Structure 1
Amino acid sequence: MSIKMKITIALLAFACATFCSAADLSYAESRVVHSEILAADKEIYIHVPESTGYPGRKYPVLYLLHGQWDMLPAVATLDLVAKTVPELMIVGIASDGPELGIESSGDSAFAKFLVEELFTLIENQYPAANYRILSGHSHSGRYVMHQWLTGSLPVNRYFAFSPSLEDGAILSGVESRKAEQLARRKPLVLTMASEGEHMLGPYKKIDAVLEPAMPGRYQAQHFPEETHRSTKHTSLKFALHATFPDWAPSRKVKMAGAEGLRQHFETLSARYGFTALPNVEMLQQVTALYSVSSSKERHAKLTPMFTYALRDLAIAPSKFIEIVDYLDENNYPEASRRYLAALCKVEAGIDSCGAVAPRER
């Protein structure tokens, strides 16, 4: 096994030892909010990513209908795609029955509740970026499709998973709009599980209309191996990767140094309209690999990477001191000293820097 592979495996073990615990599982905050518009209390479920080392970070938000049933599958799916898509907040909304009925105006009371009450509450009280995805499955997927057609909601993207299409209302809405109208709609991801012809038939007709009308803004996928229920995981994984296809930097970019990473995430920020940031654990792994390498060229990339991380991204030095200690404890003493010396060139005030010889700083 190569030294690079050994250090990668070791760092993965380090991550689990640091962040995994035997505490009771808690995947979302549950709270009840009163809606004046609906004249009712609504239960919502809020999942915020664990602290990632960035002060003041804000996350794009996935607003999930049928939250009372679909919250846990959504949080689990995010874990499956961690580091390949941005970290997201999830806001699940307990919703069902008549309130998700579609109306010709697209201006239902439930839509008003989302826009005028829920979005404002979440963005005022939680670290939410002004980037919203509305997602629904089955009956709530039908509601998502309707709101996508009307274009009445201030959201960035729509996900509709195995939406109920059997009554023909959504198909009729798609077919009645001209291609130039559809081209102005927000990006949409549409999926279909192994359903009967009453669902698959309309799906195929909708897909045939939207695929040429919305190049690059519409993605669809039929999952014949998935049931109506099991498609929740597969569809969300597909939708997130379709929405953020180039999120994770390639190995070439990571090994190229700080400037390559900076450009990668600046490009993503401009493309999506929210601040894209590299995963702190990924920066820990990359800098450790630089340090254990036998290449002086890689060693030279350490200080610029720490400048990028500590100065530009405002990551706490303690995140990297963890790697100094880990390298030392796992028989990489030279790499540990090299790592600390480069870190101290950027942040000389670290307590451990007193052990670094002046010629190394």
Structure 2
Amino acid sequence: MTKLFVTALLLCFTLLLHAQPDINYSIKVPSKHLQSQENIQVYLPKTYHQGDKKYPVLYILDGQWFFLNGVAIQETLRGDDLLPEMIVVGVDYKSRSYHDSLHFDYWNELSRYVQEELTHFVDQNYRTNDERVVFGWENPSFMVSEFLFQKTPSFLGFIASNGGYVNDEMLESFQAYDGEPLYLYVANSKKDIYTVSSSDGLAEKLSAQTINNLEWTYELFNQEIHESLAYTSLYQGLRFYYHNYGSKVFSGTKEFHDEGGLPALEDYFKARSERFGTDPEIDASTKNSLIWLAWKQDDFTSFDLFMNEFKDVLSTSRYASAYWQNRLGQFYLKYEDAAHAIEYFTRGINEYPDPEFMTVMHAGLGSAYALENEISKAKAHYREAIKLAKANNDDQLQAYEMKLKNL
């Protein structure tokens, strides 16, 4: 018994070790600008060692504080409908005095180190693509702003939490940028009395003019305070940058129609494809969710639209069960679409003869054939439903018998 326990314990320990994130906390980066060896932390996605895929990189300023926030987002919140797998790089600033607002001794050197030396080091040593996102909280949010508003930004996504700024000179320099669209996410809280005026000022400055090649937003999380906003803003900033990365999700069929219906949905996936190199066709997840929504909200008009437009997903494994064939058949029957109800009930009975659903599907066929005025077929299926109901002590037995009698 003791031997068995030890074996099980070792197995659990092995699995636990296998599940640990791939993190190196002490990687040295030589810097001519800082005349030193700088320390960074690096997280690699779980699939990194399984092929030759290249990954986007999330750079987190003040990595000594917030690096694990980025790792947590990747480990717990990443998914096909949220974010891609990313390399996370923590930029260790703990030895720097720039957090004292009166002593920005290393500001310019740090800025050049991150944009020039560190990004080059990461690209040379890891499989990266061209997608870089940078996050900064408090004073580093001002550095994030400087990274953005210049002629040749080194990043595509910028997340400025609890701070940020821009002046006319920076905006004028940025006007020369003509590359792909950049994304700026600014977050703060009215309770952060130290920095909220800076974020407000940045938003006001950007709102006062049209800025090409920049998508930006400013959000206030007034339940947070100065010290607590970093995680929320990091996650929401990534969601803003990757707003069209995943499947399109709707709260209801009304939202689908209000946003432009099928043409708008097709445009969404085309734009997604152009940005991320994904399939330009509407994906199965979106199609399935819309079919489910229409059924759940009892919207037969939308349901019928989706069932006709998204026929390809109906032949996938998701619907390969008596459960789904019965569900679809019953919904069509409810709205007296007998032809489609017969189609799904028949497929359920013939291809997925699950005893749990055979009785109700035969009864459904009886009702559907009755709508078609094919009385002999209706009676045959009601008789089969009654037979199965008696064998299974089905509480719907009397209802089936009454429907047969009424025929």
Confirm or deny a common fold (TM above 0.5): yes
Check the 8 A contact 1:158/1:187 in 2, yes or no: yes
SS at match of 1:29: strand
Residue in 2 aligned with 1:270?
Answer: 274
Stretches (4+) displaced over 6 A: 99-104, 261-266
For 1:191 and 1:200, locate their aligned partners in 2 and report how far apart those are by CA, in whole Å: 9
Aligned length: 260
Q: State the 1:98 CA deviation.
A: 4.3
For 1:177 and 1:227, locate their aligned partners in 2 and report how far apart those are by CA, in whole Å: 29
Decide which of 73, 79, 82 is 1:82's aligned counterpart.
79
Residue type at the aligned position of 1:82: G
1:319-358 matched pairs, under 5 angstroms: none
Q: State the 1:200 CA deviation.
A: 2.0
Decide which of 222, 225, 230 is 1:224's aligned counterpart.
222
For 1:29 and 1:87, locate their aligned partners in 2 and report how far apart those are by CA, in whole Å: 17
Question: Which whole-Å deviations, capped at 9, do the CAs of 1:297-341 have from their partners, x for residues lacking one?
Answer: x9xxxxxxxxxxxxxxxxxxxxxxxxxxxxxxxxxx979xxxxxx
Matched, 1:95 2:93: yes
Residue in 1 aligned with 2:188?
Answer: 192
Check the 8 A contact 1:99/1:110 in 2, yes or no: no
Question: Which whole-Å deviations, capped at 9, do the CAs of 1:84-136 have from their partners, x for residues lacking one?
Answer: 122221111101534689999x9933233234432222222222112111211
For 1:191 and 1:251, locate their aligned partners in 2 and report how far apart those are by CA, in whole Å: 24
Residue type at the aligned position of 2:30: S
Residue in 2 aligned with 1:246?
Answer: 244
Decide which of 232, 235, 252 is 2:233's aligned counterpart.
235
SS at match of 2:130: strand
Larger radius of gyration, structure 1 or 2?
Answer: 2
Residue in 2 aligned with 1:325?
Answer: none
Residue in 2 aligned with 1:357?
Answer: none
Check the 8 A contact 1:123/1:130 in 2, yes or no: no
SS at match of 1:235: helix
Residue in 2 aligned with 1:33?
Answer: 28
Decide which of 46, 53, 57 is 1:50's aligned counterpart.
46
Matched, 1:73 2:103: no
Q: State the 1:218 CA deviation.
A: 0.9
CA 1:118/1:276 → structure 2, altered by over 3 Å: closer, same or farther? farther
Residue type at the aligned position of 1:211: S
Q: State the 1:67 CA deviation.
A: 0.7
For 1:51 and 1:334, locate their aligned partners in 2 and report how far apart those are by CA, in whole Å: 37
Question: Which whole-Å deviations, capped at 9, do the CAs of 1:233-256 have from their partners, x for residues lacking one?
Answer: 21112111211212222479xxxx
Q: State the 1:177 CA deviation.
A: 5.6
For 1:183 and 1:238, locate their aligned partners in 2 and report how far apart those are by CA, in whole Å: 29
Question: What is the TM-score of this pair, normalised by structure 1?
Answer: 0.58
For 1:228 and 1:40, locate their aligned partners in 2 and report how far apart those are by CA, in whole Å: 31
Structure 1 range deviating more: 193-202 or 153-162:
193-202
CA RMSD of aligned residues (A): 4.4
For 1:57 and 1:127, locate their aligned partners in 2 and report how far apart those are by CA, in whole Å: 7
CA 1:45/1:188 → structure 2, altered by over 3 Å: closer, same or farther? same
Residue in 1 aligned with 2:109?
Answer: 109
Matched, 1:201 2:188: no
Matched, 1:211 2:240: no
- Structure 2: give runs of 5+ residues left out of the alignment: 1-13, 251-264, 289-312, 329-350, 354-407
Q: State the 1:266 CA deviation.
A: 6.8
Residue in 1 aligned with 2:318?
Answer: 289
Question: Which whole-Å deviations, capped at 9, do the CAs of 1:34-81 have from their partners, x for residues lacking one?
Answer: 414122121111112111897321111111110111011122123235
Check the 8 A contact 2:150/2:173 in 1, yes or no: no
Structure 1 range deviating more: 231-240 or 202-211:
202-211
Percentage of matched positions with identical amino acids: 19
Structure having greater relative contact order (Cα 8 Å, sep ≥ 6): 1
CA 1:177/1:47 → structure 2, altered by over 3 Å: closer, same or farther? closer
Decide which of 11, 15, 22 is 2:16's aligned counterpart.
22
Q: State the 1:269 CA deviation.
A: 4.5
For 1:73 and 1:265, locate their aligned partners in 2 and report how far apart those are by CA, in whole Å: 30
SS at match of 1:95: coil
Question: What is the TM-score of this pair, normalised by structure 2?
Answer: 0.53
- Structure 1: give runs of 5+ residues left out of the alignment: 1-19, 253-260, 299-332, 336-361
For 2:156 and 2:145, locate their aligned partners in 1 and report how far apart those are by CA, in whole Å: 14
For 2:321 and 2:93, locate their aligned partners in 1 and report how far apart those are by CA, in whole Å: 52
